[in-house]
Amino acid sequence: MRKPNYDKFPFVSVPNGANACVVSWEAIGEKLRLAVARRVARKTVLVVECYPGVHEDQVLRELQSQLNPALALRANEALLPPGKIDVLLAPFLGANDPVFGFLSGLTLPEFFDGQKLRRLREVVEKISNGLVLILGCGASLILEGDILVYADLARWEAQLRYRRNEISNLGVENKTLAASLQYKRAFFVDWRVCDRWKRPLIAKWDFVLDTNTPYEPKLANGDAVRRGLRHVVTRPFRVVPFFDPAPWGGQWMKEVCDLDRSAKNYGWCFDCVPEENSLLLGFGNTRFEIPSLDLVFDQPQMLLGDAVHARFGDEFPIRFDFLDTMGGGNLSFQVHPLTEYIQHHFGMHYTQDESYYLLDAGPGANVYLGLCENVDATAMARDLRSAQAGGVPFPAEKYSNRIPAKKHDHFLIPAGTVHCSGAESMVLEISATPYIFTFKLWDWGRLGLDGKPRPIHLNHGLANIQWNRDTNWTEKNLVNRFEPLHSGDGWREERTGLHELEFIETRRHWFTKSVPHDTRGGLNVLNLVEGEEAVVESPDGAFEPFIVHYAETFIIPATVGRYTIRPHGASEGCECATLKAFVRDHIQRNSVC
């Protein structure tokens, strides 16, 4: 096993940012008091907008202590009653499904009572001197205010708070609700609503409050954060990975990523899922954490490129994550929805096509992929239902191809294809971003980490299986579709997929010397799949050399254009490899690098 050099806390240093951020409530109070004093006004309204999951009680308590306002108000005082909010959300959450809902088109003002908002405005207007503090999700609905602070939180941290029963969903008190149901409500409603509210506010931020570590709050100038976001899209960067156990989880990441050896397992690593990852900005020696979605919202064209932005809007369409079953078990036997199905049933406009790239594989590693020849759909459905009802375990090998897997194999999985990574596999999963839309068909009769059966969605799954994707079709279309493309001094390029039905293209480069790359106006996402270390450089010095280590995923914004990658450090003189993904178009499909 190689010596760990995986960086778990990558950051982007913001030029001239040393004095842009302060740490601790005392320093935050001093900075905000100075901002109020500089207004030289008899009355100042300070608005603190909060993303769902922020500990609003704590933030209000600390700011009141530091600022001693003449009046302090909570935005939640103007919310609709919880019962009315539940009725409002019912069409998007349904009644029985513990996982899936329909993506909400609601806006934040719909959660508020107009009459209550007017009364709170009247209360504020009666104050003629001093500081008025308005705090909460939707605080600027009461008044836009004179100073705007945005208290932000990464979605991953919000999920951890759900698990610890610390926070409630938007507009209700439901801390004791199962974390999975809180997540469902956040995914389909809260985050959609509050992201719509956040987008136009980014340009107005006077200050940003990092609340990801409750007792280590950090406040940065809004101008500095925006300048940092503009700087990020001029260079390669990484988001902050996070790791999570799984019922099938393995042991590989513990060593390679230098994780807690005493943990039972780690099944997941989300190494490039900007919807849930965070981004660390370096202000001098301080690391300021914001959701990486803020970058997507603020700099979509520079990050994604014009063509990708035109197609997906301010959504990051490519996802890289790890699935570790080394020393673990099989993933669930599953299928992803077809495009029209995900549109009609869940409100998502594109689906989760994906692939499995084998970073590593142990003895006996395999992948279940596609159907065997002449599968009887009725019999397969009957056996799945019987197994789920407690009958004979589902005979997966009777219905699905069990294909041996080895390091650097690449299995393509367009939506509608049954699949499952087996034990003893270390998968780099490359997929489109709608990441929760997995229909489990069979989970090998095991329990989840909570000791309860994991939800199975047979009806959804059976409605999406493409029954013509049999052994012959699978072997021809989905297994190791490697195609040599180009070569140069010390490097060679291969197309590895994905399937022509999918919008993501992948290229693998093997190299002992510098490889030329070009974003060609589109987003690139890469992983160093072989070699200890490599360096990404700009041919004209447009950005500082960027070092990446084995298994690290990194992002090259569209605006970067030309860049090179070569072995570095311990890998000099050795052969390295990267796997690159980008959104396919007619120009990039056949272009050099």
Closest Cα to residue 510, out of 525, 488, 536, 541? 488
Q: If pLDDT is split at 50, 70 and 90, which confidence band does 587 have?
A: very low
Last residue of a domain, one of 232, 260, 284: 232
Residues 6+ apart with CB under 8 A from 530: 408, 510, 550, 575, 576, 577
| CA-wise closest residue to 257 among 247, 246, 272, 268 | 268
Q: Which CATH number belongs to the domain containing residue 225 in this structure?
A: 3.40.50
Is 2 inside a domain boundary?
no
Average pLDDT estimate for 545-571: 97
**Final residue before a domain boundary, out of 207, 232, 257:** 232
Low-confidence winner among 136-145, 183-192, 241-250, 497-506 (lowest mean pLDDT)? 497-506
Q: With bands split at pLDDT 50, 70 and 90, how would you rate the model's confidence at 453?
A: confident
Residue 263 within any structural domain of the chain:
yes
**Residues 407 and 358 reside in one and the same domain:** yes
Shared-domain flag, residues 412 and 533: no
The DSSP secondary-structure symbol of 190 reads I
Two structure tokens written together for 521: 């106006």
Structure tokens at 351: 């689906």
Q: In DSSP terms, which residues pair with 278 in a beta bridge?
A: 240, 291
Task: Please report whether residue 1 resides in a domain.
Answer: no
Residue 498: the pLDDT is 74
pLDDT in tens, 378-395: 999 999 999 999 999 999
Residues 22 and 49 in one domain: yes
- Could you tell me if 465 and 373 lie in one domain? yes
Contacts of 209 (CB under 8 A, 6+ apart): 28, 48, 59, 149, 150, 151, 152, 217, 218, 219
pLDDT range class, residue 96, cuts 50, 70, 90: confident
Question: Is 239's pLDDT higher than 80?
Answer: yes
**Is there a single domain that holds both residue 90 and residue 175?**
yes
What pLDDT, in 10s, does the model give residues 476-524?
999 999 999 999 999 999 999 777 878 999 999 999 999 999 999 999 9
In a domain, 406, yes or no: yes
User: How far apart are alpha carbons 115 and 96 in whole angstroms?
Assistant: 34
CA atoms within 13 Å, Cβ hemisphere of 41: 17
pLDDT of 431 > 60? The answer is yes
Q: What percent of the chain has pLDDT over 90?
A: 91
Tell me the per-residue pLDDT of 342-375, one tens digit each, with 9 for 90 and over: 999 999 888 888 999 999 999 999 999 999 999 9
284 found inside a domain: no
Residue type, 422: G
Residue 589 confidence (pLDDT): 47
Can you tell me the distance from the alpha carbon of 160 to that of 55, in angstroms, rounded to the nearest whole number? 13
Q: How many structural domains comprise the chain?
A: 3
Q: Across residues 445-461, what is the average pLDDT?
A: 90
DSSP 237: B
Per the structure, the complete domain to which residue 107 belongs is given by: 12-232
**Tokens of residue 189, six digits:** 């409603």
Better-scored residue on pLDDT, 96 or 220: 220
pLDDT of 274 reads 87
Confidence of residue 593 (pLDDT cuts 50, 70, 90): low
pLDDT at 591: 53
Amino acid 592: pLDDT? 52
* 498: in domain: yes
Domain boundary, last residue among 432, 461, 477: 477
Number of other residues whose CB lies within 10 A of the CB of residue 38: 10
Of the chain, the percentage scoring pLDDT greater than 70 comes to 98
CATH number of the CATH domain containing 436: 2.60.120.10
Same domain, 125 and 28: yes
69 plus 21 within the same structural domain: yes
Rounded Cα distance between 176 and 167, Å, is 9
Angstrom distance (rounded) from CA 328 to CA 481: 28
Q: Are 106 and 59 in contact (CB under 8 A)?
A: no
CA atoms within 13 A on the CB side of 562: 9
pTM: 0.95
Q: What is the pLDDT of residue 535?
A: 98
Q: What is the pLDDT of residue 588?
A: 47
pLDDT of 585: 79
| pLDDT score of 29 more than 50 | yes
Residues 117, 262: one domain? no
240 and 155 in contact (C-beta within 8 Å)?
Answer: no
Same domain flag for 140 and 218: yes
Indicate if 465 and 532 belong to the same structural domain. Answer: no
pLDDT, position 502: 83
Give the pLDDT confidence score for residue 2 in this predicted structure.
63
Whether 424 is in a domain gets the answer yes
Identify whether residues 227 and 356 lie together within a single domain: no
pLDDT at 586 (0 to 100): 45
CB 111 within 8 A of CB 138: yes
Count Cα atoms within 13 angstroms, Cβ side, for 497: 25
Q: In terms of domains, do 257 and 396 share one?
A: yes
Is 394 inside any structural domain? yes
Contact 477, 412 (CB under 8 A): yes
